[in-house]
Structure 1
């Protein structure tokens, strides 16, 4: 990592030590507000659902400390600034590795309690697995899942910070009760009602549901807030002329400006909207503009841990705020990355310089990029993932797990450990004080592959245990094996999702075909693309028909998937003029593989 400019592509960011992570506590509530121990015959809980008085939410959701892999740094020409961060991974575990009191504003639009199919937007297997746990135990299970995340968000907020939680009628009342327990009832500021005209059918047996709810909470009375004003009503041809009232005049007469109400009439992103990306739960930029302008200072940090298509980050970037976003879906991250890049390319005359941003993976890592890492970075990454300590006792001992020496092989996926490597590591163990004084003779070898000679050499060393005091027991562990991630999967008792943490993926091998169908008009086809991850399928294709230094999809060609029909593997595009053109295509599979192909054609 370059200390002057922050992480670059290929870097890994080690998880902080557990003891360095500050913990929030539940607020002290006044006696008159505390719920009774029982309400009739029904017991009433004082703590939020899922809370354990000794272990907090860690009892149900154990801590998993894995490094972040920086898979890309998108450059905007201001590399001296600390980059913004876009994460792919489980947001609970990502948040647990972020520093306390570091965020000014958190806005989240979590999955609504309206069924798993409604909330699976992008179709990733990771997204489906993540959401399947939420509905397992009905409303209590959903609230426990959300409470654990809200509690981490409370820890991340600065003392002057605030959080806005977006929900709908399915669970809003239950969420309000839980947030009162986590943040304190006196920390509640507003229940904002967002009303819209479009969307939904005309029901025959109930009133049409045309609003969502946003709960606004803070940590204390020193919270940041910038008052917003709106036009109240037309005063006619004469001004009001009362002190303390702001007025202005236009062609319709005099108008009074008043403080913004908690009732917001902002329409949804329609089918013909210029900002439409193509998935059903996209929130309008006008809504996030109002939230961010009101609740965060210029230069402050805005976070969204359910980023979807990246509206929060896009608006924060445009308004001169720093941002942190995260999503469980690799397609969501790809769409967000593309949207942010395109916004900067289209933005002219920006008042504030736009920082670079990094794309970082947590828990699911790109093996191909790891293979390109320098040896010392690769070894450190593997040791962190294995739960071992980086401890250079000898040039041939790279770390320890407990008291056992650990050796890490080369970064190349096709590089196999040799018999000579086994001999060298065994001799290094013999040189250690623990071998000489404490009779510790075990060792661990971590690598992508082991040659037959290496396996035989380790077996010969082990057999000596019966006849020779110089024996060494070496366990050989493949990096992509279940043994390598045992320390993580052991935590999966309550949540099967843990079994999918710490996996390695490959990008699709993208193949682009094309043919001319009329002047300047071509059909492009990626149906010959090979998916390299076992059991995966293509779920999204992005196209950039004027590719430069950065990938930025052409409008309408970023999110091309459809729940029923699947992704469009064939698209038609008409160029504005003839000549040489560079075309780039990105393909995502449903396990998280993301591949890029760039071609050059002569348009005529």
Structure 2
């Protein structure tokens, strides 16, 4: 934000508590968002014969759904900012940084009225660098490695969650291009049901660049589906410009309004249409062009879409106070438009720069424009799987231990003195929140004694245990080795190691988050806030550090 802009009021801390725990997820069989019947989702005319389409979406497992390839990671979200606009009584909007699949899995079913997404197109390009930030890795290269099937599997898992989140009257718009739109439609037919397909919208535009070897590709495809047949859609709320028809008479009425009219040959009734009222939109849109390089709304985001395009979608498919979501929010265009139109919103992106940019864009929009017109709710910036280490280290001891245990896939359990939780049948010990703290030999011996008092030790001679901490003193390592040599206990140390964002290991970590090759035991990341800069404009004050929670010291 420039110095001339008013500094936004930022209240650190969440709406309710420092960390928001994920909701419990039921088994696939018990969930209400089952796939539609697949045997007859596509019914072609008899003359066409059979259509060879798989019965289930790519990546779907009949027993575990998409959780077989993309297991549930039950990490909490951390609210790192609450940007206030003077109306704390209103429910805040939410902006997430993290993998959208896992963020969506924590949101309640049937809670969203409209979803618009502009996912990365399957164009074979490497989406490694956003905004020239050499340390930003928003790479989908692992997705492309699987070819079109790999891309569709990755997208299907997310579309499935979006269907669950939609209200019964809700709808979803998926923005895509010629590379994959036809493949995506087939998959959406399976997930949403062929009968819930509403429109294939063609957005036509003119941009620089022509081809002599092909007809120049100057359109995108937007697929519109509903969750049920009781969806909301009122296309009259966003008319298109009316073009002159050479078969009609043109005139001007007594108020100076230009119109065209025709006379019905049989009834002699005169029909009149005013140009300033426009006409109902067709399924091809030619009245919205790409963003001009000099346009005020242009922010330089690589895949930024024009506001009028998203405005039409939000206007016709939602009403005031409805919840609009974009889980690939990028530069925040859809969220900014939703804010202008008095909609509630949820945004998510895996790019830290995108989230910082969106937070700044929404703040400036409210402060400079709409905040003076009507009451605006606060919004929160929340991290999933990526946490501010300083904020974490200031937590009360019991909350810190509970958080680390959940992140490690363990369950808090203090029924046995000296043991903080269990991972399966293995006792877990968690050190102090202070990042400078080190586990001592005394703590190792106390944990070993606690293990020896357990029933599993006394009856089955199970001696293993795990200690999680920021660091371990040399005497602690020696004590663990001595206990192992004496065959008393077998303790493993897991250190919370911080890795800077410019380190290659952090890039590998981010690249793995969105793919079915991810190491789901290694999702915990800690952050410390420095500056995020995009070009010359300072957007926010944040920096990021990863913690490898599965790093063993020996």
Question: Which category describes the TM-score, using the shorter chain as reference length?
Answer: 0.7 to 0.9
Indicate the residue corresponding to 1:111 in structure 2.
Answer: 120
Tell me the alpha carbon deviations over residues 112-167 of structure 1, each in whole angstroms, 9 at most, x when there is no partner: 11123367534678975650122113222222221121111111111111000001
SS of residue in 1 equivalent to 2:101: helix
Pairing partner for 2:226 from 218, 235, 241:
218
Q: Say yes or no: does 1:24 pair with 2:33.
A: yes
Indicate the residue corresponding to 2:290 in structure 1.
Answer: 268
**1:349-388 maps to which residues of 2 (within 5 A)?**
350=372, 352-388=374-410
1:493 and 1:322 map into 2 onto residues whose CA distance is 27
The alpha-carbon deviation at position 276 of structure 1 amounts to: 1.1
Tell me the alpha carbon deviations over residues 206-251 of structure 1, each in whole angstroms, 9 at most, x when there is no partner: 3332221111110112112233252535642257599998966xxx
2:279 and 2:166 map into 1 onto residues whose CA distance is 30
Indicate the residue corresponding to 2:491 in structure 1.
Answer: 474
Q: Say yes or no: does 1:282 pair with 2:304.
A: yes
Q: Say yes or no: does 1:191 pair with 2:200.
A: yes
Indicate the residue corresponding to 1:206 in structure 2.
Answer: 214
The alpha-carbon deviation at position 7 of structure 1 amounts to: 2.8
Tell me the alpha carbon deviations over residues 402-421 of structure 1, each in whole angstroms, 9 at most, x when there is no partner: 23332211111111112332
**Cα gap change, 1:477/1:229 in structure 2, threshold over 3 Å: closer, same or farther?**
closer
Indicate the residue corresponding to 2:252 in structure 1.
Answer: 237
Indicate the residue corresponding to 1:565 in structure 2.
Answer: none
1:186 and 1:40 map into 2 onto residues whose CA distance is 20
Unmatched segments (≥5 aa) in structure 2: 1-11, 245-249, 254-258, 264-268, 500-508, 548-554
1:129 and 1:349 map into 2 onto residues whose CA distance is 32
Indicate the residue corresponding to 1:513 in structure 2.
Answer: none
CA contact (8 A) 2:340 2:370 kept: no
**Cα gap change, 1:374/1:246 in structure 2, threshold over 3 Å: closer, same or farther?**
farther
Indicate the residue corresponding to 1:419 in structure 2.
Answer: 441
Indicate the residue corresponding to 1:136 in structure 2.
Answer: 145
Indicate the residue corresponding to 2:432 in structure 1.
Answer: 410
2:284 and 2:100 map into 1 onto residues whose CA distance is 30
Q: How many matched pairs? A: 503
SS of residue in 1 equivalent to 2:126: helix
Q: Say yes or no: does 1:169 pair with 2:184.
A: no
Indicate the residue corresponding to 1:87 in structure 2.
Answer: 96
Unmatched segments (≥5 aa) in structure 1: 249-253, 466-470, 483-487, 511-539, 544-555, 560-584, 594-604
Indicate the residue corresponding to 2:360 in structure 1.
Answer: 338
2:371 and 2:478 map into 1 onto residues whose CA distance is 66
The alpha-carbon deviation at position 330 of structure 1 amounts to: 1.0
1:200 and 1:73 map into 2 onto residues whose CA distance is 41
**Cα gap change, 1:196/1:140 in structure 2, threshold over 3 Å: closer, same or farther?**
same
Indicate the residue corresponding to 2:533 in structure 1.
Answer: 541
SS of residue in 2 equivalent to 1:288: helix
2:40 and 2:479 map into 1 onto residues whose CA distance is 70
The alpha-carbon deviation at position 384 of structure 1 amounts to: 0.6
Q: CA RMSD in A?
A: 3.7
1:32 and 1:43 map into 2 onto residues whose CA distance is 12
Pairing partner for 1:457 from 472, 479, 487:
479
CA contact (8 A) 2:95 2:347 kept: yes
1:492 and 1:168 map into 2 onto residues whose CA distance is 24
Tell me the alpha carbon deviations over residues 310-368 of structure 1, each in whole angstroms, 9 at most, x when there is no partner: 11111112222111111111111111111111112213555543222222222233323
1:114 and 1:163 map into 2 onto residues whose CA distance is 22
**Cα gap change, 1:402/1:245 in structure 2, threshold over 3 Å: closer, same or farther?**
farther
CA contact (8 A) 2:530 2:541 kept: no
**Cα gap change, 1:493/1:342 in structure 2, threshold over 3 Å: closer, same or farther?**
closer
Tell me the alpha carbon deviations over residues 47-90 of structure 1, each in whole angstroms, 9 at most, x when there is no partner: 22222333322233233222222222222222233322211122
CA contact (8 A) 1:12 1:377 kept: no
CA contact (8 A) 1:9 1:71 kept: no
**1:585-596 maps to which residues of 2 (within 5 A)?**
586=541
Indicate the residue corresponding to 2:247 in structure 1.
Answer: none
1:257 and 1:449 map into 2 onto residues whose CA distance is 68
Query: Normalized per residue, which structure has more strand?
Result: 1
Tell me the alpha carbon deviations over residues 274-325 of structure 1, each in whole angstroms, 9 at most, x when there is no partner: 1111123111111111111111221111111111101111111222211111
SS of residue in 2 equivalent to 1:413: coil
**Cα gap change, 1:368/1:301 in structure 2, threshold over 3 Å: closer, same or farther?**
same
2:51 and 2:40 map into 1 onto residues whose CA distance is 20
SS of residue in 1 equivalent to 2:26: helix
**Cα gap change, 1:432/1:69 in structure 2, threshold over 3 Å: closer, same or farther?**
same
CA contact (8 A) 2:127 2:140 kept: no
Indicate the residue corresponding to 2:317 in structure 1.
Answer: 295
1:126 and 1:63 map into 2 onto residues whose CA distance is 28
**Cα gap change, 1:481/1:35 in structure 2, threshold over 3 Å: closer, same or farther?**
farther
SS of residue in 2 equivalent to 1:111: coil
**Cα gap change, 1:202/1:75 in structure 2, threshold over 3 Å: closer, same or farther?**
same
The alpha-carbon deviation at position 451 of structure 1 amounts to: 1.2
